Amino acid sequence: MRELERNRDAEASSALHRLAVIGDGRTGGSVTHAARAAGLDVHVGRRGTSAATASLAEVALLCVPDRSIASACAELAEADPLPAYVGHVSGAAGLDVLAAARRRGAETFTLHPLQTIPTPDTDLAGAPAAVSGSSPAARDVAAALARRLGMVPFDVPEEHRAAYHAAAVLASNFLVTLEESATELLTRAGVADARAVLAPLVLRSAANWAEAGSAALTGPIARGDEDTVRAHLAAVRALAPKLEPTYTALAERTRAIAERGAAPSSQDWTTGGTPVNAPQVIRTREELRRALEPARRSGRRIGLVPTMGFLHEGHASLLRAARAGCDVVVMSLFVNPTQFGPNEDLAAYPRDEAADLAMAAATGVDVVYAPDAAHVYPAGYATSVEVGGELTQVLCGDPRRRGSAHFRGVTTVVAKLLNAVGPDVAFFGQKDAQQAIVIRRMVRDLDFPVEVVVGPTVREPDGLAMSSRNVYLEPDERVRARALNQALSAVADAARAGETDTSRALALGHKILTDAGIDPEYLEARDADDLTLAARFGDRPVLVAVAARVGRARLIDNVVVESPQPGAGAAAEVAR
């Protein structure tokens, strides 16, 4: 059976050389970006040019609003030649809206990415994708296209399309509605920046549900504490009476779920027949090497994402990138003691292995390497790896700050992870820009046979860089912490406007930090390759980096200002 599926997938993939994407909005742009990254020959068209564009491809995908699909398909159906396969990306619409192409002999399909797509360059890697087809061949093309775009296809019967889309709305749109209702109630109760206060709880609850299903249910209803529920209702009635029906309806549904009992764990749930398994958790390097040996022997591409746990969307973006580009994905989960100074937060560093494993499962990780400190640094351990020179003596490596010993701890543990895993690719985040630069130098100098990929910084909606340490922030501190990104943006905007003197641009950033009551450890402009001081913008890419303590949290952030051309009207490109 698996051999038959592989043959069908190979046949479907043979039709995926030239793809026509009709629509250049958020979904169309994201599909185009993913398709080109996958090596497809992509032609982009819009209303008025769709027939001409479609005639250049074997497969056409309509990425237009639901109300426009039928008319867009009618226009596309005039293509000569007509693509063999025509599909759309709507979650709600079925195959019937593609009737015009079907009448002209094309097979039709649907492919709906089951995720929010806020921008035209949204990463689709790892997202589930609902597929259906007018024939088995069309369904296979839809599934093959989803895989080429980095997604995980699953089947939705055509007759249950509306139920599928309703479930997606419940899980996504209505979740936002629910959280906004909670935010309103908490605000009325006198809590400032309620969204920032609730966000960690929401994210952890979602991760717990992803791992354990209804077994993750907690709270007064699950405990049978009806007195507390009555107190809740009285408070809601007094502060936000319009939310009382919502609370009552959800309470009734929660009682039913609590009475039903725990759902099966994520170890065996499936997506349309495609298993989504929890990763294998390994505690020793010997077991890790044995587990990876078959993949290594067969030449499969192994990716490593090193983490210290307490994962957030920044980590998830790296895991999805690894899943899209590698055959086997290994995530390390290890809070490295050697990179913490004597007065730093090793003991208090946030940890939540269960939630981390849930995110690993949701992003398609194959192996989690989670050793303990005694295994990584056994008794008598006396060797370290150090990158010398200015790279580790400035910014966070300055002796007045964390010091170069911090980076010695980083490079030592990364070297040990590279030796233990033997990856083809290792993924790091741009938020820790100096760390990424130091690791690149170590890999180059010591001839590690690994490609280092640095993914972009992932931010909260208000611009704050995602960090495990954000959980330390009190509500008022969370608001003040926004100033870090605002300061960086001010410096970058000055460079974009033609300012070449970094000291004048940095002064703008310092003022923003001062106004927010933040005294930074540093706000500096340095060469983005060798970290020497940069006196001007315009010659080479410049890393503008900031570090500051806000309450208990030590936060870092940065932007890279690419070489602007003052006076020429060209904008500096800012990678965040």
Q: Which of 398, 354, 37 is nearest to 210 (CA)?
A: 354
Pairing of strands 59-62, 107-113: unpaired
CA distance 124 to 112: 11
Residue 314 assigned as binding residue? yes
Residue 33 assigned as binding residue? no
Cβ atoms of residues 484 and 546 within 8 Å = yes
Pairing of strands 274-275, 270-271: antiparallel
Cβ atoms of residues 54 and 76 within 8 Å = yes
CA distance 504 to 187: 40
- Other beta carbons within 10 angstroms of residue 157's beta carbon come to 10
**Residue 131: strand pairing partners:** 111, 155
Residue 45 assigned as binding residue? no
Question: Is the four-CA dihedral 525, 545, 552, 339 of positive or negative sign?
Answer: negative
Q: Which of 85, 104, 86, 108 is nearest to 95 (CA)?
A: 108
Residue 312 assigned as binding residue? yes
| Cα-based distances in Å from 357 to 66, 214, 215, 353, 526 | 37, 17, 16, 6, 37
CA distance 234 to 176: 24
Residue 115 assigned as binding residue? no
CA distance 438 to 391: 6
Q: Which amino acid is at 253?
A: R
Residue 359 assigned as binding residue? no
Residue 442 assigned as binding residue? no
C-alpha triplet 509, 513, 516: angle, nearest 5°? 145
CA distance 301 to 277: 20
| Cα-based distances in Å from 36 to 14, 44, 109, 111, 321 | 16, 11, 21, 17, 15
**CA Rg value for the chain:** 26
- Say which residue the tokens 């959800």 belong to: 250
* From 315, 375, 406, 510, active-site residue: 315
DSSP helix/strand/coil, 52? helix
Residue 468 assigned as binding residue? yes
CA distance 455 to 487: 22
Ramachandran category for residue 126: left, alpha or beta (phi over 0 → left; psi -120 to 50 → alpha): left
Compute φ and ψ for 16, nearest 5 degrees: -105, 60
Residue 309 assigned as binding residue? yes
Q: Which two tokens stand for residue 477?
A: 């501190």
Residue 455 assigned as binding residue? no
Residue 267 assigned as binding residue? no
Q: Which amino acid is at 153?
A: P
Pairing of strands 574-575, 367-369: unpaired
Q: Which two tokens stand for residue 152?
A: 């995980």
Residue 154 assigned as binding residue? no
Residue 432 assigned as binding residue? yes
Residue 509 assigned as binding residue? no
- Say which residue the tokens 């410096």 belong to: 491
User: Residue 239: which H helix or E strand, with range?
Assistant: helix 226-239
Q: Which two tokens stand for residue 219?
A: 């709270």
**Residue 315 among the catalytic residues:** yes
Residue 339 assigned as binding residue? yes
Question: Is the four-CA dihedral 21, 26, 29, 33 of positive or negative sign?
Answer: negative
* Helix axes 404-421 and 285-297, enclosed angle (nearest 10): 50
Provide the annotated binding site for ATP.
308-315, 429-432, 458, 466-469
Residues belonging to the active site: 315
Provide the annotated binding site for (R)-pantoate.
339, 435
Provide the annotated binding site for beta-alanine.
339
Provide the annotated binding site.
308-315, 339, 429-432, 435, 458, 466-469
